[in-house]
Amino acid sequence: MNGSPRDGNGIDLRSLMRELIVEVCDVAPERIHEDSTLDQLGIDSLSVAELVVELEMRLQRELPTAVLRRLEDVRTFAEMAQALQAALGPDAVVSGGPP
């Protein structure tokens, strides 16, 4: 998919992150749930860095370097989305629930 999934309020961050995890980490979409741990999804620190770079390219925006430090402490998909939302600010809409 080209571009970023969006709704009327901004970036649909959870949908975009699911899409990136599927593309970058080769994870089946049905495996990605709010409470899925990054370990369960096979996502390590290098994969997280790759996801952040891809997210920056999609958004055409550089995230603060502190984001990577914050992401070192996240354990689940939901925590990762929340940390990225904090970095992106009010433009990011983190829609909850399953895809």
Q: Specify the pLDDT at position 93.
A: 53
Query: Is the pLDDT at 98 greater than 80, yes or no?
Result: no
Query: Is the pLDDT at 80 greater than 90, yes or no?
Result: yes
Query: Is the pLDDT at 96 greater than 60, yes or no?
Result: no
What average pLDDT score do residues 37-45 get?
Answer: 95
Type and span of the H or E element at 6: strand 6-7
In terms of residue numbers, what domain contains 51?
34-90
Alpha-carbon torsion angle 52, 35, 90, 1, nearest 10:
50
pTM value? 0.79
Residue 38 lies in a domain: yes
Residue 16 lies in a domain: no
Taking CA atoms, 89 is separated from 22, 40, 46, 63, 82, in Å, by 24, 28, 24, 10, 10
pLDDT in tens, 59-78: 888 888 888 788 889 999 99
Residue 9 lies in a domain: no
Residue 11 lies in a domain: no
Residue 95 lies in a domain: no
pLDDT in tens, 4-25: 444 334 678 899 999 999 999 9
